[in-house]
Structure 1
Amino acid sequence: MAQAAAHAEGQQHPIKLYLVVWGWLFILSIGSYLVDYFALQGFLRWSLILTFMTLKAGLIVAVFMHMAWERLALSYAILVPPVFVLVFVAIMALESDYTHLMRVVFFGGG
């Protein structure tokens, strides 16, 4: 009877899951802090910062926003648009080299 009442209110997740996720968020935040502490520069710095940021955001969305237990269609509706944005940003980054080259050619380099 108690199990039926719990299902009526909603599914309860064990506290251990949340504590493990908080632990991983803490570890990833330490990693992000260490990137600045060791004064890493260039591509390594930004790739590590973006990796830590993406992992933390993924954990938060999956567990605390309950996306890990949602329907696949809803997950796709949330996750696919940012992928398209990243693809378009990559295309714009590639196109920017061409635009810069054309400006140098036509307006005279300097």
Structure 2
Amino acid sequence: MAEVTLHATTHTPPVAHAEGHQHPIKLYLVVWGWLFVLSTCSYLVDYFNLQGYLRWSLIVLFMMLKAGLIVAVFMHMAWERLALAYAILLPPLLLLVFVGIMVFESDYTLLSRIIFFKAGA
């Protein structure tokens, strides 16, 4: 009869992420630099006295970029699960879509009021 020997294999458990994982300081300095550049660009919009939709588009663009950097790096959202990121980021994005829809609707409402009240005069 053949003898069967079982060899014990050493199995090491997967390494868990350490609590309080530190990111390199260079990452934070680079993000801080980008925030400074974006704030300077936002200031230059006022300095060059841009007006109309260009002004507000640039201000909102720079604001969203700065908020995105802050949320992604300083609030550690870049390292969270995708479901949690969607739960936090999706509602503000949907609000922006609804605001855009309301802007188009307001133009239509204004036009219909002008036509209606002009016809009644």
Into which bin does the TM-score normalised by the smaller protein fall?
0.7 to 0.9
Q: How much identity, in percent, do the aligned residues show?
A: 74
Match of 1:87 in 2: 97
Residue 12, structure 1, aligned to residue 29, structure 2: no
Report the TM-score, using the length of structure 1 for normalisation: 0.84
Residue 23, structure 1, aligned to residue 33, structure 2: yes
User: Distance in 2 between the 1:85 and 1:18 partners?
Assistant: 29
Match of 1:73 in 2: 83
| Structure with greater helix percent | 1
User: For 1:46-65, what aligned pairs fall within 5 Å after superposition?
Assistant: 46-65=56-75
User: Distance in 2 between the 1:57 and 1:74 partners?
Assistant: 17
User: Distance in 2 between the 1:52 and 1:96 partners?
Assistant: 25
Report the TM-score, using the length of structure 2 for normalisation: 0.77
The size of the alignment, in residue pairs, is 105
Runs ≥4 residues deviating over 3 A = 105-110
RMSD between superposed Cα atoms in Å: 2.0
User: Distance in 2 between the 1:30 and 1:15 partners?
Assistant: 23
User: For 1:25-44, what aligned pairs fall within 5 Å after superposition?
Assistant: 25-44=35-54
Larger Rg: 2
